[in-house]
Structure formats: structure tokens, C-alpha cells
Structure 1
Amino acid sequence: MEEVQPSARELTVVLEGYSYLECPRWHDGRLWVSDFYTNQVVATDGRGGTEVVAEVPGQPSGLGFLPDGRALIVSMRDHRVLARDATGELTEHADLSGAVSGVLNDMVVDEHGRAFVGNFGFDLMGGAALRYTTLTRVDPDGTVTTAAQDLGFPNGMVILPGGVLVVAETFAGRLTAFDVGGDGELTNRRVWAQFGETPGTEDVGEAVERLEVGPDGLCADADGAIWVADALHHRVLRVAEGGEILEEIPTGTGVFACMLGGDDGRTLFLCAAPSFPEHERRPVREAQLLAVRVDIPHAGLP
């Protein structure tokens, strides 16, 4: 992979004192973000003001919004997607227990209200062998369908203008694209960006050592590039289709998700923490929400 000179953009701290922030979403003038081990979804104005918008005992993760304005929230450990109405009440939108082989992960919701949800596929935190897994589609009526198979830890997702879904396969070291059909069917699977060779091992430790990039959370910009949080190398990357790295921003700490937002869509929010293992993050409050100004504004979903 061709080396890119890291840029010298200034990072600022927006929030701190959290357990492990993930899945940031800019919505109606605020950034929503899940804090795994306090079981809270928090919204911030980006200037330090915060509101706890949901308490999710099953551990919140992926976030999205339906056309009618309700929020969808992944409840990781009980394999459910919850809906939050304007009063803050949570109800079950879908139960994915019969469709997945691991705890739920990130999610993207399209303009029609269809949610695409990833899952771990194996017990990552318990030290199990690496297993590939599925992507699940939840239709607006709560119907659950397997949308894609054989994905190496499907993680962050974006839907680009024009209806292309791109998913980060963290343990395959790549971004994979699908066309989204009118019925939500995913077709024309292809590699959108490959970062080095995919590790041919079931040992998570070996895979981590071999991966040139560990792609995690994603967001897209108006030039068609994707910002990728590299969960293994303390940086966020701006990537073009085909895999060219256009920019690298070093973070000095672990970074696991990113989202373009702010009034002009040019503030890149970063979910940062010293590491990702649950036993290291759960007992402490070292996670931060960082921000950095970039040149090209947000596009696509989320």
C-alpha cells in the first residue's frame, strides 16, 4: 500500500469521560453516539452540551433514523433493533436472534427505512476463532432477511449517493460494495478498496498483526471518498474507490468510528479510546469524542 504523508490537521476534544464510544451519527443539528459500557446513547451539540437520549441495557451500537423521524438503535447482546419515538420510549423493531451467529454490530438505515445490520460472527472478546458471518436486512415492517454472507467481521457501513452500500470487513482488511436494489436486495458484490492482503488465519491475534488497515467505522464525503477509522493503527484515512489513500490523519490514540457533521458537514467527529478489548474499556472512562475540520463535506448515509 502506497505511503501517504500524514496531514497536520488539529484535533480537538469534544467530549471525554466515556467508556467506549461508537457509531456516531449527525442528525438534526446534533451528533448521536453510543457508549457501549454505560449502555447509553448520547446526543451532543458538538460544543460540550449533552443529553442521554436512550438507555439500552443490551448494549447500544449502530444508530439510524427512519423516514418518520424515529431513531433505530442496535441492542447488541439481545440481538434486537429498537425504535425510539419522539417521547424517548423504546420499543422492539426487530428480533434478529434467529438470523445471526454473534452479537450485533453497526448498522446503516437507507432512505426507505431499511436497516442493514452486521454482527460479530464469533465471540471476539472471549478469544474464539475468527469466523466470517452475514449482513442482515431489517425491512420497515420488521421483517428480517439475510442480505449477504461470508463477510469478515462486517462493521461500519455507508450508502453512497446512487444507492451503493459499502461495508468495512475489518478482519479481511477491505471495503466491500453492493448495489442496493429497489426491494433492498444486495447485488453486484465487489471490492471497493483492499488494504494489503487478507490474513488467511482463524487466529485473531495473527490477523491483527498482519492487517495493514483494520477498517471500522465509515462515513462518506461529497467527492465520493470514504473516511475510514483504522482501528489498529491510531489514524483515520480518506480513501478513494480502488483503494488509493488520499489523506491520513494520525490521532495518537485508538480511533474506531468517524462521522462528518457540523453545520457545514465539514467537521469530522472521531470516536477514540486507548484500545478496544472489553475488559480494558468497561471499568474505566477514558473514551473521547474528537473533532477535526476537513475540506469536503458529508454526503450519503448515515
Structure 2
Amino acid sequence: MTVQPLANGFCFGEGVRWFEGLVWFSDMLGEAVHTVTLQGEMSTLPLPGHAPSGLGFRPDGTLLIVSTERRQILAYDGESVSLVADLGDLVPAGLGDMVVDGDGRAYVGAQAREGGVIVRLDRNNQATVVAEDLSFPNGMVITPDGTFVVAESTGRRLSAYSVDDAGALHHRRVFAAGLDGPPDGLAVDADGGVWTAMTLSHRFDRITAEGVTDRIEMGDRTAIACALGGPEDRALFLLSATDAYPDRLVGTTLSTLDVIGVDIPAP
């Protein structure tokens, strides 16, 4: 299959997720969260004053939203947006991507180029630093066997952790190193393969412990984020932009959401 366009006309897409028959993603510079149907119909949740990035759904359907520069976590219950946590005192830099586990615990990266951290937000909204000394932590996934994988963009690697029953991260190790460019957003499939947005290499790679198994070329477009979903969980949704640096895209509407079919479904 080939890459098919699904939606466009937004500034800088991040944090793409599939939930309840819709594609959800942040427009960081457009200060909004969008939803898109499989027919390409878009709806918008405005978030003035915020630069949303990572998204994640708790088991009760609450959408958690990362507010990057305010270093906050917001919640959207389908009607209103509220503040659930201010992480400003815990983190050394603005926030980025997020993953939510099956128990509703959210993991959020603080994107320092050196000395980045990951914060865990528990169901009671208590926040704890669970990983340190990361090189710009970006996309994060939890594989079917419970391995936590994070993209370290400036380190050009994927790092892995074991997760204990309390949600703590242990035994840091390399999942993939020496990547061709800075990795950004991640998605995981049922076999534990990690689809990785290879920003400056203009492609999405499926990476396993053995190396790259699949590749989707994006021409001259910058790969930003991806998610698996769709009716049979075999649709890979792809966010791309015309530049890897958001500051250069302020005021533009050149980002796109595309979709392609893949063989291995979401977990």
C-alpha cells in the first residue's frame, strides 16, 4: 500500500493517537487538539495559551494533554478542560510526549538536550521523576511484554526500561543506537516492533532488537509522530511537517496527517 492523505491545514502536529474511532493529535503551534475521522472530517478543541504536545487516554476515557511550555498536564472529559498537574518544580525543561499505561499512569518527558527526565503521573495525580539523564526524551511506548521504550532525540537512540508493578522504571538499556537521525514519535505493534519517526531522515522506520525491518519514505517531509489504529488496528497514521523545528513553522498550515496499511496490528 502507499501513503494516503487524510487531513491537512494545521501548523505542527504532535502526539497522534487512535481512540474510539477517531484519530486525535495536537497542533502544538495552533494551540489546539484535533480529531479526524477516517473520512478526513476534522473537529477542533481550542486550547488558547497552551502549546499541546503529548496525548494519552486513561481507562475512563479522560484525555490527558501535555502543555509544553507551561509544564502542565491538562484533562479533557469531553466537555471541559481542567488542570490536573503542574510539573514545573520537577522538570528541567519544557514537556513533550506522553504515554499512558493500562492502569492510567501517565509518563511524560521533559525535553532537556542533556539531563532530560521522565515524570510518572499516577491516577491520584501525584507526580514522581522515574528516569533521569536522558538526551531529549521524546516519543514513548510500552511494548506488549511490558518494556518501556523512549526515543532520545539528541542521543539518536531508543532506550528501554523494565517497569515494576508500582510503575517505576528500572534496568536502563539500549533498544537501538546509532540511528540515522533524531527519533521523535513512536508507535508499537503486537509483535513489539517500534515504529519510529526519523525526523531528519524523512521516513518512518519499524525497529526491533534485530534492527530495521520496514521503512516508509516521506519524500522531503519531516517525520514527526505516528500511531497504529483503524478498524482492524492495521492503519499506521503518520504526522509530518515541512521542518523539524517548530519555531520555523509559526503561522503556516503545512503539516499533514497521512495513513498507510501495515501487516502487524496494534497490540
Q: TM-score, normalised by structure 1?
A: 0.85
| Cα deviation digits, residues 114-139 of structure 1 (max 9, x gap) | 11000121xxxxxxxx4231111111
Higher relative contact order (CA 8 A, sep 6+): 1
Match of 1:100 among 91, 95, 100: 91
* 1:45 is the counterpart of 2:13: no
Shift of residue 278, structure 1, vs aligned partner: 2.7
| Secondary structure of 1:280 counterpart | helix
Shift of residue 166, structure 1, vs aligned partner: 0.5
Percent identical among aligned pairs is 38
| Cα distance in 2 between the residues matched to 1:163 and 1:100 | 25
Q: How does 1:45-84 map to 2 (within 5 A)?
A: 45-84=37-76
Shift of residue 38, structure 1, vs aligned partner: 1.0
Shift of residue 140, structure 1, vs aligned partner: 1.1
| Cα deviation digits, residues 234-277 of structure 1 (max 9, x gap) | 000011124x1101111111111111111011111111111022
| Cα deviation digits, residues 147-172 of structure 1 (max 9, x gap) | 10011110000011132110001111
Shift of residue 56, structure 1, vs aligned partner: 4.9
| Cα distance in 2 between the residues matched to 1:10 and 1:68 | 35
Do 1:56 and 1:75's aligned partners in 2 also have CA atoms closer than 8 Å?
no
Do 2:144 and 2:191's aligned partners in 1 also have CA atoms closer than 8 Å?
no
Task: In structure 1, list runs of 5 or more residues that go unmatched.
Answer: 1-8, 122-129, 197-211
* 1:190 is the counterpart of 2:173: yes
Comparing both structures, which one devotes a greater share of its residues to strand? 2
* 1:256 is the counterpart of 2:224: yes
Q: Which residue is equivalent to 1:10?
A: 2
Q: How does 1:23-42 map to 2 (within 5 A)?
A: 23-42=15-34
| Cα distance in 1 between the residues matched to 2:188 and 2:52 | 23
| Secondary structure of 2:92 counterpart | coil
| Secondary structure of 2:103 counterpart | coil
| Cα distance in 2 between the residues matched to 1:225 and 1:180 | 18
How many residues are matched? Answer: 266
| Cα distance in 2 between the residues matched to 1:220 and 1:120 | 21
| Cα distance in 1 between the residues matched to 2:265 and 2:247 | 36
* 1:282 is the counterpart of 2:265: no
Q: Which residue is equivalent to 2:234?
A: 266
Between Structure 1 and Structure 2, whose CA radius of gyration is higher? 1
Do 1:266 and 1:297's aligned partners in 2 also have CA atoms closer than 8 Å?
yes
Shift of residue 65, structure 1, vs aligned partner: 0.8
Q: How does 1:103-122 map to 2 (within 5 A)?
A: 103-121=94-112
| Secondary structure of 1:298 counterpart | coil
